[in-house]
A and B are shown apart, each in its own frame.
Chain A
Amino acid sequence: MSTSFIYLCAIPRAIWEQPANVHGRPMDIARLVTDALACERRITKGINLEHEYSRYTLCCQRLEQAVGSTRLLTPFKTTDDFTATLQAGRFPVFPISEDYLSVLDHTRDKPGPERLGASFFPPDTLHAHSAAFAMWGKQHGVATRKGVKYRFAFLQIAQQAGCGVIELQSAYHIRQDSHPAIANVGSQPIDAEIRNAIVIPKVAHERLAVESFGANKQKLAMTLRNHIRAALTHGEPVVYGNEAQHDVIAEVLHESIFVPEEHLRQNLSMRVVYADGSEALPFPVFCLPRKQSSAQQQHIAPLRVALMSMRHLELDPEIDICWFRNRDVSRTRTLAETDQFCFTTTVEQINNALKENDIVIHLYHTGFEPAVLGFYRGIIHTLRNLRATHSSRQLVVVPLYYRGGTT
């Protein structure tokens, strides 16, 4: 396969701040930088993303092209060379290999600090970025990688010279060194040895909530149970979306969360894939010891909650609040990202509520699998934290399935 290079270019402060007719060099980037930074701010708000993405891409491309076509890029070897190049009115440039891109793979799921992964850094931001990059490199154990070392050194020299940095990427070069043939991805399959050590407890399906369902749903529940079991055995993902409905999913997952009697707790997770092909974070199973409800819980007034707003308006007289705003959940993104959004929102809201008091939630389901999985993933995460810290706080969720008049 071909290889790519990243060219680190140091650009003096004047060019970042003034238009071309003032600084007198053949490049005009001040407005592009302002525009691109504004796009970055708006992207974090998540509004009109499609438009912002295309504008941001265009700004970055124009910025990179402006630097690439100046004919002023000059390679350097020593710090003195760097200074001499700047004094000659040229821009010092240093190529690093695509090793830096493999390092950036760490930022795919969780953004790096101080705009790590961006392609331009104005002089004012370089100090903060450089320090954060060094710290981040150490935290992720990549500080000794060539790409990281060279980039950090370049950032420091550029910072001392009062420059900003623009990074150009160039592809289709002949590979000089060897790299692993296949890049890492977030969800690696479970290693065979670990898989063999997994013991999947047999869950006694007695007196379970699904029994109140009709025959069809009981059948769906059985199919889902079998899928989960097979998926855990083979390290395969379970696909959610077209098979069992949300109520069946909730009940079957409920069966699978608690550690059955006579079994030890295991760090076992189920891979989750949605119908759009996106893979969410693994869902923890057999991870919580079962607890009996305390007398104290009986006296807490339940908070009546609908999972998502604007899905079943007939629920409105029955509930106190909606847990998720439909507008926030139903955005253009993959279902796995929606699951992640619902998870983080749930953890945040539950933690805020638990600061005040114990909480009992009567949850009226409103469908939509990623919201259901994200919500319960958040609840499990919080319960595990409470148990790990031996907290006395109580958190109870009672699911209610609304069937047009009766629950």
Chain B
Amino acid sequence: MGCFLLMTVNDFAQLNATMKQSVRGAPAGTTGSVPLASYQTHGLNVLEQHVNAYHKRFAYDHAQGGKMPRNHDWRPYRFCIQDVLFGTTVVRHNRYHNCLEIDVFLTAPIPEYDELAGAQALAIFCLSEAYKCGGTMELRFTQQVEGGRVPAAFQALGQRYGIKFAESASGRVAPEEAKAFYAALTGFAPALHERLIAMDQTGVFSMTRACYIVHHGIWSREQIEMIVQSSRRPDSVLAGLTQPHQRHLYAYDILHARAALLGGMLDRQLQRRERQDEHGTTYDLEDDICQIEVGFDGKTCAKIYTSTDTIQVPWLYPARSMEIQAGNTFNVLIRARDSADLFLHLTTDLKLASTLHQIRGGITGIVVPRDVFDVPEALRQQFLAQAKQQNIHFMICPEVVQSFDTDAAARLARSRLLRQ
């Protein structure tokens, strides 16, 4: 959660006090003879210079807009969750070395969060910028950042993922190190990670692009897993290679994108934790979700959920309340079929769900879009009876195929022009 925005002079004026407080609250570590706080004070001064220079040149304001900078201009950014500042950075694409240059890298420790939360957000941002600018993925920290070395928080984060930066003293993160770090920070499931590496090595689809797709908000990690594990042409779906007039190829991509969207929607529903205030009114809290382990079986196109919390099963039909106790698995066949397709294949799907239930055990369900209501009533009742007989939970998502397809088409189009 949270977001990166350009830091304007107004932002700087408002956040200045918080930033100075963060410097005072910084850990009392040292680098050689230089205390960290001194680097941070210097970093703040450099940031102020950049913000002023940026304002002078581009006169950008969040409310009124203004000229946007090019990749090779210095750009100051801030990362906040609600009104809490986690970190700021100033970056530009260096055309001569074809790398991303970083002039400010300041993080703030927030007590309720992990101590490296700010560093993680900034690292992901810098690596995503490096990809977006089309360079070699190399990062270079200037002399202004902790005396020209890779910042301590960045290195600590690398260590957490088992990545060492060979030229950290000279402030350089080599392209291969940056790519490995980006993949580690993105955190794909092991099987998916291996598959993406295989695709990268054969030149089909680059791992870095997959990471950028996640951080750019086009597909989530779980959705990428669904696409890669279930589709024969994952590169085409993830890169939006096919155009609608190539109807069969496009329909194939849309069918898999549609399933990923339905699966993603189910993930979010299961993860949602509802709270109630003293008046019984329900409310959501940012970042307050159930911890669920989500697996995917590409062969049957089924999701496997395991949770450490008790989770509510959504969309049951006929409507009823049902909970999955902590530690139990919940298998769900994802069937994003339209009404005609449901009419032709739902019986086979229910048989498959039954087989899956016998093999895997646990609780098994099947989720379909709302288009199932377009199937004649008698036939729908027949499906429900079949599901009940085989102990399969029938779930109907409130969205129709048409809206999934509109969303899928927009994502495919965005994937085509990923860096623009």
Contacts and interface: CB of A to CB of B under 8 A. Distances in A.
A350 interface: no
A2 B419 contact: no
Interface string A275-301: 111100000000000000000000000
Nearest to A216: B96
Interface string A37-63: 000100100000010011011001100
B133 interface: yes
A102 B236 CA distance: 12
B212 to A, nearest CB: 8
B189 to A, nearest CB: 16
Given A56-B245, A183-B233, A171 B338 contact: no
Contacts of B232: 1, 3-4, 98, 101-102, 179, 183
Contacts of A167: 248
B249 A65 contact: no
Given A183-B204, A242-B134, A276-B417, A1 B229 contact: yes
A25 to B, nearest CB: 15
A250 to B, nearest CB: 16
A169 interface: yes
Contact of A174 (B234, B250, B300): B300
Interface stretch (A130-138, A156-164, A219-227): A219-227
Interface stretch (A103-111, A309-317, A394-402): A103-111
Contacts of A277: 209, 239, 418-419
B321 interface: no
Interface stretch (B20-28, B270-278, B341-349, B381-389): B341-349
Given A174-B300, A175-B299, A185-B204, A169 B229 contact: no
A98 B254 CA distance: 15
Contact of A60 (B234, B235, B247): B247
A206 to B, nearest CB: 22
B49 to A, nearest CB: 23
Contact of A2 (B93, B233, B299, B413): B299
A275 B134 CA distance: 5
Interface in A298-326: none
A9 B242 CA distance: 24
Interface residues of A, number: 70
Interface string A166-187: 0111111111000101110101
Contacts of A334: 416-417
What bracket does the count of chain B residues touching chain A fall in?
35 or more
Contacts of A108: 236, 241-242, 246, 249
Given A117-B249, A171-B256, A183-B235, A57 B95 contact: no
Interface of B: 71-72, 93, 95-98, 133-135, 198-199, 202-204, 209, 229-236, 239, 241-252, 254-256, 259, 298-301, 334-341, 343-345, 348-349, 352, 374, 405-406, 409, 413, 416-420
Interface of A: 1-4, 6, 40, 43, 50, 53-54, 56-57, 60-61, 64-69, 71, 73, 98, 100-102, 104-105, 107-108, 111, 117-119, 167-175, 179, 181-183, 185, 187-189, 216, 219-220, 223, 227, 235, 239, 241-244, 273-278, 332, 334
Q: List 10 A-B pairs, minimum CB-CB distance, nearest first.
A: A68-B340, A189-B203, A275-B134, A69-B340, A171-B255, A53-B244, A65-B340, A183-B233, A1-B298, A239-B134
